[in-house]
Structure 1
C-alpha cells in the first residue's frame, strides 16, 4: 500500500504516523521548512493513544511533484487546508503520472463539499472524503499531538460510490489506536461536524477562548444558538440531512456532551488566526452562506461571523 500525503500539518503527520505504524509505504509532499525538519528529525505522533516515532529513513518526503517517481501511489490523502484545494486538484491532474492506474483520493479536511474541486479533474469513483472528529495539533513541524477524541474517523463517498476498497486504510488507522470506519451516510456525519465547527470555530477565534468558555456566557451562547438554528434551516431546505431532526435536538447534545467533552480545546480557526494565516471559513460558515443564498434561507448570523473572520484575515 503506497500512499502520498499532501499537507504535512497536524492531521497529515498524525495520519501518516498511524499508517506507518502498520507498515504502509508513506510519502509526504511538504513545504520546504517542514520537509527539512522531517528529513532531519523524523516524525512523531504523541498525545492520546499509542505514541509513535519514525526516523527519516522510514518514509519519503518531497517538496515538488517533479521529485516524485512515476506510477508510485495507490492512494493520495489530502490533509492540507481547504484553501489549497483549487491548486492541489489542478496540480494532481497535471502530475497524474505519479499515480497508479487504480488510484484513490481521500480528502481529510474540515467543511463540506471539498470534493468539488477534485471532481473537476477526476471521476467520482476516484474521490472520497473523511469525517475527522479527532483533534490534532502540531507542537513542532514534525510532531502531531492527538489532543481530543470523540468519535471514529469515518471514510465514505459524497457521490454514492462503492467504498469497500477503503477498508484496508480504515483497518490500518484503527490498528494504530484511532478508530476508523466506513459509512454510506458520510453526508449526515459531515453536516454533524459542520454544525459543531461552524458554531464553535470562528466564534472561539474571534473571542480568543476555548470551546467551553463559549457556553458560559449568555451572549456567546445566544450567537451559537442562532448559528445552529440557521444551519438546520439550510439543511431542511436542501437535499441534505444530518443525525438530528431539529435544532433543539442538536442543542441538547451539543451543550450536554459535545462541548463538555472538548471543553479545553482551541479550534483550528483559532490556531490559524494566531499564526496569521488564512482560515477555512469559506468551507465552513461560507458554505452555509452559499447554500442559504441558493435556497433563500436567512443566514444572517453565519454571515456576520464570516465577515468578522474575513476582517481579521484582511490584515494577514
Structure 2
C-alpha cells in the first residue's frame, strides 16, 4: 500500500475517462489524489458549478436505476498550469486518437521514465507516434506505456453526468519497450488499483502478444463497422440489411489479415492460436455478431462525423493502409474507406459552415 495518496491525472473528461475516474475514486478514494482534465473551460466550469461531482447512472440486473456520486477535482490543462506544478507519476489518456497529441502535450514534460501512462483508445499505431513526437531520444526515455481494451458502454448526458448503459470489462497489458520481450514487469500501483475496482471488471495480461490478438480482433471489428456506418449514416445493425455489405467487409478483412500477418510474424511464431484467431471467416463472424448485439447503437465514428470533430479513421483503416504501404501489399478497399470518410467529413463541415454563415 502506498504511504501517500497515489497521484493520478485522467486526461479526457468524456464518458470513458469519467467512468474510470468515478469508479476508482469510489473504490480507492482515501488512497488517491485524482484530477480529471476537461478539454475546455466551458465543460470544466459547468462541472464546478455542479459541485465538482461526477454522477453515474447505471441500470442494475433488475432494471432499476442506481445512482452513485464521486467528488473529483475537475479542471483544464490551462487552469492546472496556474497552480503548483509537479511531476506526474500516473496518467490515464482517454481521448480520441486524433486528439491525443494535443491533449497530452501540456503534460508530456511532467512525465518521467518511471511514470505510468495508460492509453484507452480505439485503433492502433498511436503509441509509436506519441513516443516519436514526445520522447524521440534515448537520452530522455519514454514513460512506461500500458494499453487497455474496454467494452463498457457509456455516454455523457452533461459534463457531470455519465450513463453507464453497458456493463463490460477492461483488458490491460504493458506495451513493451523491447518487442522481442513481450512479457511485462510487475504491475504498478495504478494498474493494480484498477484491477481491484469491482465495477470496471479489469484483468491483466502479462504477455503483450496475447493482448495484441484481442486488440487486433477489436481493430478488425472497428475497421468494418465504424467507417461503413459513418459513410452510410446508419446504426450498427442496419449494416446487415445491405445486400453487398458483407462482401465489402470480407474485402476489408482480407486486406487486414494479409498485412497483419506480414507485420507481426512473432504472433504466429509464438502463439499457436494466432492463425485461427485471425482467420477471415472467424473475424467476419465476430463483426456480424457485434453488429447484431449493438444493433441499436450508433458507432463512435458516425457520431464524430455528426459533431464535425474529426474521426479516428487514420488509426483504424488508416493503420491497415500504412502497413500495406510498408510491406508493399495492396489495401485498396481500406484506402477507399479512408478517402470516403475524410471526404464525407470535409463535405459535412463545409455544408455546416455554409449554413452557419447564412444564419449570420
Given that residues 201 and 268 in structure 1 are in contact (C-alpha distance below 8 angstroms), is that contact kept between their aligned partners in structure 2? yes
- Per-residue CA shift, 1:231-264, capped at 9, x if unaligned? 1111122116457141012223332x33322222
- Hey, what does 2:354 align to over in structure 1? none
Which of 156, 163, 170 is equivalent to 1:145? Answer: 163
Given that residues 18 and 173 in structure 1 are in contact (C-alpha distance below 8 angstroms), is that contact kept between their aligned partners in structure 2? no
- Hey, what does 2:37 align to over in structure 1? 29
1:16 counterpart = 2:21: yes
3-state DSSP of counterpart to 1:110: coil
Which of 224, 237, 254 is equivalent to 2:287? Answer: 254
Which of 77, 97, 102 is equivalent to 1:82? Answer: 97
* 1:118-197 mapped onto 2 (5 Å cutoff): 118-120=130-132, 121-122=134-135, 123=141, 126-150=144-168, 152-159=169-176, 160=182, 162-166=184-188, 168-169=190-191, 171-172=193-194, 175-183=197-205, 184=207, 185-197=210-222
CA distance in 1, matches of 2:256, 2:228: 15
Given that residues 106 and 127 in structure 1 are in contact (C-alpha distance below 8 angstroms), is that contact kept between their aligned partners in structure 2? yes
Q: TM-score if structure 2 supplies the norm length?
A: 0.78
1:39 counterpart = 2:48: yes
Name the CA shift for 1:18/1:294 in 2 (closer, same or farther; >3 Å).
same
Unaligned segments of structure 2, at least 5 residues: 1-5, 61-65, 136-140, 177-181, 268-273, 350-360
Displacement of 1:211: 1.2
Displacement of 1:27: 0.4
CA distance in 2, matches of 1:8, 1:88: 11
Given that residues 21 and 176 in structure 1 are in contact (C-alpha distance below 8 angstroms), is that contact kept between their aligned partners in structure 2? no
Count residues in correspondence: 309
Q: TM-score if structure 1 supplies the norm length?
A: 0.88
Given that residues 18 and 54 in structure 2 are in contact (C-alpha distance below 8 angstroms), is that contact kept between their aligned partners in structure 1? yes
1:228 counterpart = 2:253: yes
Given that residues 156 and 163 in structure 1 are in contact (C-alpha distance below 8 angstroms), is that contact kept between their aligned partners in structure 2? no
Displacement of 1:306: 0.9
CA distance in 1, matches of 2:287, 2:309: 28
Given that residues 27 and 62 in structure 1 are in contact (C-alpha distance below 8 angstroms), is that contact kept between their aligned partners in structure 2? no
CA distance in 1, matches of 2:156, 2:163: 6
Q: Greater CA deviation, 155-164 or 207-216?
A: 155-164
1:114 counterpart = 2:147: no
Report the structure number with the largest CA radius of gyration: 2
Displacement of 1:40: 1.6
CA distance in 1, matches of 2:333, 2:259: 13
RMSD: 2.4
